[in-house]
Amino acid sequence: MLSIRTPSSIFVRIYGGLLLVISMVALSTYLLIQVVNDHRAAEYRESMATGFFRLVAVGIERQPAGTLRDAWLEEASTLMDNKIVLVDAKSADFDSTEQITLLEGRAVVRVNVQHNYADIFSLVSAKEQLYLKARMSKVSEQQAKAMAIFLLDDLEHYQGQETQRLTQLQSYFPFPLRIVSLEKSGLEPDQRARIKRKEVVLALKEGGAARHSSIRIIAPSKMAGHVLVMGPMYLFDWMPVQLLLIISAVSLLVITSAAYFIIHPLEKKIKIVEGAARRIGGGDLGARAEVFGRDEVSQLAHAFNSMAEHIQRLIDSQRELTRAVSHELRTPVARIRFGMEMLADTDDVDSRFEQLALLDGDITELNKLIDEILTYAKLEQGIPVLDFEAVDLGHLLQKVAKETLALGVKPKVTVVLPPEGTVVEAEQRYLHRVLQNLAGNAIRYATSEIRLSAGVYDNCAYIAVEDDGAGIPEKDRERVFQPFTRLDDSRTRASGGYGLGLSIVSRIAFWFGGQIKVEESPNLGGAKFVMTWPIKQRHRNNFKLNS
């Protein structure tokens, strides 16, 4: 199943997201402008055609059916340079919207983009269900002049009432209709001369944009010294200022909203991290930034939480270490003080040597305790300097076994060697310390035997130490790795140790990128400690760190 992951980079998320939004807004804006302009163009064509064809329809309606009407249609077609025919509603096949438009006295324009023409319909007689139809492929100067001629023809039926008639017709035209004096018409001398010759004049006014360019149609009037002025008729503006402002405002709103929804989650995460930092600064060491995700802010939050956990662990460890050290030092110090007093109170040479030997043992024990404390503190403070190298597991097992036997221990030490040449990556000194601590721990609690083993499986290495002692209850198996921990059963203070050996092992396992666990030994019946870590340190990410 194909899964789509959210980009983890803030750069990709913000700039890529904004680029996507801007691209979508640009495409949507283009499509919206096309749709809006198509609608505006349709309204423009309809409004420009309505008045013209209303005049033609009125002229046809005035003619009686038959030869006179046909002759008038023929003459009108010649004047317009377009064939005008009469059709009924059935042959025209009007839909409901077109029928309403026609009944309102407006024209219906059907555009055929493929063949580049438009069929224009206008109502002639609602009673007879009669409509005129003209097919136009272009608008020419002849047709513009024809419109003026049709209007003059209509005004002849309203002599003396021309102004009132123009007022009645004005609702069908999208531009002004008026009769003005020739002096106020704004015509140039040659245009005035043409008016006096009873010609129709087209006056073009050009502007810097389509919305500023216009055409006026001026025709001679029956009223002396006056002319009929139609217009100005403004050309269709494909990009009006109002539309640009609306589109720009909507686009800006969409982009701003998208930017908010893209950036706000990141801002929210940053505020969560900031809040957690403030709480920690105020003394709440348990505060964490509850942030989820894969972007840089989420990674920052995870790093912050890891840092906070480490700081809290260090502080808790320091407190515990301070408390435990003061407690652990009392016994050897008290014995040394007692030995010094005994040494001062006796004059017997043999007794003095005996006390000196005891003092030397107490000092040695004190040195061991200090060494354990320093080692644990070093591992707990931060990442130690680890020099990973190739380590032969079989050789290491044999070395630790010899060192353990050299102590004169009673339990039998059994070694289960891995295949010859089993080599893994590890820090030799720390791995030796792990095996040594585990073996020493097993010796203290074993009845008759301990077993050392090691090997590799699935890109990880392991070392294991087992004993045949009483074992560790399952409820205490996590607690044994805490510093200065001693259990209440057979693993008591009487067995020796300071409760730091297993804590040191746990920290070394952590810095190796591995883990340490304790379970019941299937072979000896006691406790079995197993430490695992990656054979190659490049595989460390495949393991869950036991912190």
Mean pLDDT of 188-216: 81
The answer as to whether 329 is a domain residue is no
Mean pLDDT of 150-174: 90
Residue finishing a domain among 75, 100, 133: 133
Mean pLDDT of 495-511: 75
Tell whether 52 and 171 lie within a shared domain: no
CATH code at 460?
Answer: 3.30.565.10
Give the rounded distance of the alpha carbon of 194 from its chain centre: 71
Tell whether 510 and 425 lie within a shared domain: yes
**DSSP symbol at 476:** G
C-beta neighbour count of 162 within 10 angstroms: 19
Residue finishing a domain among 80, 106, 133: 133
The pLDDT value recorded for residue 487 is 63
The pLDDT value recorded for residue 486 is 64
Write the pLDDT tens digit of every residue in 409-461.
Answer: 889 999 999 999 899 999 888 899 899 889 988 998 899 999 999 999 888 99
Tell whether 121 and 164 lie within a shared domain: no
The pLDDT value recorded for residue 380 is 63
Give the neighbor-by-neighbor strand order of the sheet with 515-520: 412-416, 449-457, 460-467, 527-534, 515-520
The answer as to whether 244 is a domain residue is no
The answer as to whether 379 is a domain residue is no
Give one word for 56, left, alpha or beta, with left for phi > 0 and alpha for psi -120 to 50. Answer: alpha
Mean pLDDT of 153-172: 90
Q: Please check the confidence at residue 527 and state whether its pLDDT lies above 90.
A: yes
Q: Please check the confidence at residue 508 and state whether its pLDDT lies above 70.
A: yes
Containing structural domain, residue 196: 140-239
More confident residue, 328 or 186: 186
Mean pLDDT of 139-144: 85
CB 390 within 8 A of CB 423: yes
Tell whether 127 and 146 lie within a shared domain: no
Q: Please check the confidence at residue 5 and state whether its pLDDT lies above 70.
A: no
The answer as to whether 365 is a domain residue is no
Mean pLDDT of 348-375: 76
Tell whether 210 and 69 lie within a shared domain: no
The answer as to whether 370 is a domain residue is no
Tell me how many domains the chain contains. 3
The answer as to whether 183 is a domain residue is yes
Tell whether 30 and 158 lie within a shared domain: no
Q: Please check the confidence at residue 395 and state whether its pLDDT lies above 60.
A: yes
The answer as to whether 461 is a domain residue is yes
More confident residue, 4 or 252: 252
Q: Following DSSP, what letter does each residue of 245-293 receive, concatenated?
A: HHHHHHHHHHHHHHHHHHHHHHHHHHHHHHHHHHHHHTT-TT------S
Tokens of 446: 């074993």
C-alpha to C-alpha distance for 241 and 239, rounded to whole angstroms:
7
The pLDDT value recorded for residue 544 is 40
The answer as to whether 480 is a domain residue is yes
Q: What contacts 356, CB < 8 A, 6 or more positions away?
A: 343
Tell whether 163 and 185 lie within a shared domain: yes
Tell whether 77 and 207 lie within a shared domain: no
Write the pLDDT tens digit of every residue in 70-117.
Answer: 898 899 888 888 899 999 988 889 999 999 999 998 999 999 888 889
Tell whether 226 and 84 lie within a shared domain: no
Tell whether 125 and 175 lie within a shared domain: no
Tell whether 401 and 503 lie within a shared domain: yes
Tell whether 144 and 188 lie within a shared domain: yes
Residue finishing a domain among 100, 133, 166: 133
- Phi–psi pair at 481, nearest 5 degrees: -90, 0
The pLDDT value recorded for residue 384 is 66
- 217-221 long-range contacts (CB < 8 A, ≥24 apart) are 217/144, 217/145, 217/147, 217/148, 218/148, 218/185, 218/187, 218/191, 219/145, 219/148, 219/149, 219/151, 219/152, 219/195, 220/195, 220/196, 221/152, 221/155, 221/162, 221/179
